[in-house]
Structure 1
């Protein structure tokens, strides 16, 4: 389905990791198309290879997604590459209080 247009911010909270790469990349491309120039995408979700929580985070979310039957935890670098492939620029990682639970990335169209 088409995404609504006319908004300068779209958020994905615990969405990307629930989907396989092809679905996640399609979603990012559709979000890019829906945002106006200068619009922002904010992603908040657990990410693989989170410093200080690599083993526990990867194990927990790996089992969670195995039970779901789809998706996978991705590192910041993997999400950054997907964002660039979808056409986004100015990709930035933001600090969070509990990075094991959620990391935050912003990207600008």
Structure 2
């Protein structure tokens, strides 16, 4: 269980950066070269490659080099794990909110009966 938490921590830490989220959004459309991914960002290529490294270390993307071109693609497993965690937390909070609403309705009904 602790390993799963460590993996999720790494994924959420990787996704905390807007540049890395933009890369993920781009890759959801399909594989892309590093050059294509780096184009919208005003940063040096070595700085951009650090972002790619963080995403790869988190297991969110993979890259492969063919000739002189490095291409990245999404690895959905870690995104799915993060989505599952978020969905679980959402369900917990929705349940709490439903119980709170029911409690408030009960209090309102009791007040009206008095």
Same fold by TM-score greater than 0.5: no
Larger Rg: 2
Name the structure with the higher strand share: 1
* TM-score, with length taken from structure 2: 0.25
TM (normalized to structure 1)?
0.26
